[in-house]
Amino acid sequence: MLQDKNIVLGVCGGIAAYKACELTSRLRKLGARVHVIMTKSATEFVTPLTFQSLSLNQVVTDQFSAPRYWEIEHISLAKLADAFVIAPATANMIGKLANGIADDMLSTTVMAAKTPVIIAPAMNTNMLDNPVVQRNIDALKALGYIFVEPEEGLLACGDVGKGKLADPAAILERILHVLNPKKDLAGKTVLVTAGPTQEALDPVRFITNHSTGKMGYAVAAIAARRGARVVLVSGPTCLKTPEGVERHNVRSALEMFEKVTALLPESDIIIKSAAVADYAPAEVSGQKIKKSDDELNIALKRNPDILYELGKMKGSRILVGFAMETENLVENALVKVKKKNLDFIVANDLNVEGAGFGTDTNVVKLIDGDGGIESISIKSKLEIADIILDRIADKMKRTCV
Ligand code: PMT
């Protein structure tokens, strides 16, 4: 996804510098060439050798000795970079950039850059709240610098509050968002459902399934990266909302049904990757059901089949379902694609390694409304999402939706 992109990663001095190691490794796994510039204080926290080993590139730490390290002479990192990322960024570095001070390798190189600069600050809460730091951040934002907000939590200094470096996954997500050249879904609204539903039995128990939401969140993230307005209707999950996505939380199938049908009129593409419970307890006890010596039988009632209902209302919209099967994958998916009036169904088999619930990968058969089948071998859920959206975009071009 970042094949042949040059990312210059600036690492400033702070305990969160170790998280930049994970970021380096994730960038490399996506095919990026990573060039690390460390400030002098960063080297007090993590050694340059660590970044050198992870990036497979020489690490620049000193402005004046830098040329000795560069393999590609005469090309400065500023010109080479497709994007700059500063993570962690200290109050000091933010202050320098906001005020035009270029007195070390990192600030000098960023100052010479014409490519996007993504800044992920990490510092003590009180420092972050300091009006001077806030003014500097606002000034940089106004100039087009892109910030990945720090998170709240227990800080290294023992204080609790905002200031933790954003998760490397969130920083990576922002980089991908910035660098993704495909904006073919601009002007479209994509409605995505993700995660499980929970069907209450009493105030403490519910019926659910193993969906984590990873597949649907990947679809939402990629659709947003490709320029769409993305509305995500999510069952309960632990996942963070992808960059630029509008999220609506629901719990039960009935809540999902109501939310999705309310959002349908404003949607151009609907992708239903949620694992919706087909049944819910017929009665929800107001109090915790007490155990007794007898067997307990729970009567279940049918939930609405949301996708089937959407199929009746879809009009010219593109409607995509998922099918989770444990046997007869293609046969069952072919029935669903017809019965539910879908443009595509993405079929995954729980018995295939690397597919289905909870994994970061999937293995799918992408089946179109005419029964055409495309087999997609094991790939990350993000890559699978990109392929699904490619097929949707192609169909929209053909049918002028
Ligand atoms: O969330 P992850 O951990 O990443 O796992 C991903 C996934 C396995 C959940 C995902 O890839 C997937 O297969 N989602 C669909 C699971 C499912 O409910 O399959 P199904 O064959 O039972 O349903 C077919 C389609 O009808 C689905 O699009 C489903 O959203 C929809 N449906 C089902 C029942 C129902 N009452 N209403 C629906 O809309």
Residues 141-165 have pLDDT tens digits of 988 999 999 999 887 778 888 899 9
Residue 284 · residue 201 · CB < 8 Å: yes
In angstroms, the Cα distances linking 245 to 28, 213, 322, 369 are 26, 14, 21, 28
List the residue whose alpha carbon is closest to atom 5 of ligand 1.
357
Backbone angles phi, psi at 261, to 5 degrees: -70, -30
* Local structure of 153: helix, strand or coil: strand
Q: Is the CB of 323 under 6 A from ligand 1?
A: yes
Q: In whole numbers, what is the pLDDT of the chain averaged over residues?
A: 93
pLDDT digits (tens, 9 = 90+) for 174-229: 999 899 778 899 999 999 999 999 999 999 999 999 999 999 999 999 999 999 99
Q: Quote the pLDDT of residue 69.
A: 47
Token output for 207: 């019926």
CA of 297 to the centre of ligand 1 (A): 26
Q: Quote the pLDDT of residue 93.
A: 98
List the residue whose alpha carbon is closest to atom 36 of ligand 1.
305
Mean pLDDT of 14-19: 96
Low-confidence winner among 13-22, 107-116, 363-372 (lowest mean pLDDT): 107-116
Mean pLDDT of 21-40: 96
CA of 307 to the centre of ligand 1 (A): 10
User: Is 66 a residue whose pLDDT tops 60?
Assistant: no
Beta strands (DSSP E) in 96-159 are: 117-121, 146-147, 151-154
Q: Which residues are designated catalytic?
A: 157
CA of 26 to the centre of ligand 1 (A): 29
Low-confidence winner among 68-72, 354-358, 390-394 (lowest mean pLDDT): 68-72
Q: Quote the pLDDT of residue 161.
A: 87
pLDDT digits (tens, 9 = 90+) for 297-344: 999 999 999 999 999 999 999 999 999 999 999 999 999 999 999 999
Domain with CATH 3.40.50.10300 in the chain: 189-400
Q: Quote the pLDDT of residue 31.
A: 93
Cis peptide before 265 (omega within 30 of 0): no
Rounded CA Rg of the chain = 24
Token output for 342: 């879908």
Q: Is the CB of 276 under 6 A from ligand 1?
A: yes
pLDDT digits (tens, 9 = 90+) for 271-286: 999 999 999 999 999 9
Query: Percent of the chain beyond pLDDT 70?
Result: 96
List the residue whose alpha carbon is closest to atom 24 of ligand 1.
323
Domain with CATH 3.40.50.1950 in the chain: 6-179
Q: Quote the pLDDT of residue 73.
A: 39
Looking from the CA of residue 310, the nearest atom of ligand 1 is: 39
Mean pLDDT of 236-248: 94
Query: Percent of the chain beyond pLDDT 90?
Result: 85
* 0.85 exceeded by pTM: no
Which CATH number is 6-179 given? 3.40.50.1950
Residue 88 · residue 55 · CB < 8 Å: no
Confidence of residue 74 (pLDDT cuts 50, 70, 90): very low
Confidence of residue 104 (pLDDT cuts 50, 70, 90): very high
Query: In testing the pocket of ligand 1, which one of 255, 264, 272, 330 has its CB within 8 Å of the most ligand atoms?
Result: 272
Helix axes 214-225, 168-179, angle to 10 degrees: 40
Which CATH number is 189-400 given? 3.40.50.10300
Q: Quote the pLDDT of residue 195.
A: 98
Confidence of residue 400 (pLDDT cuts 50, 70, 90): low
List the residue whose alpha carbon is closest to atom 1 of ligand 1.
213
CA of 66 to the centre of ligand 1 (A): 53
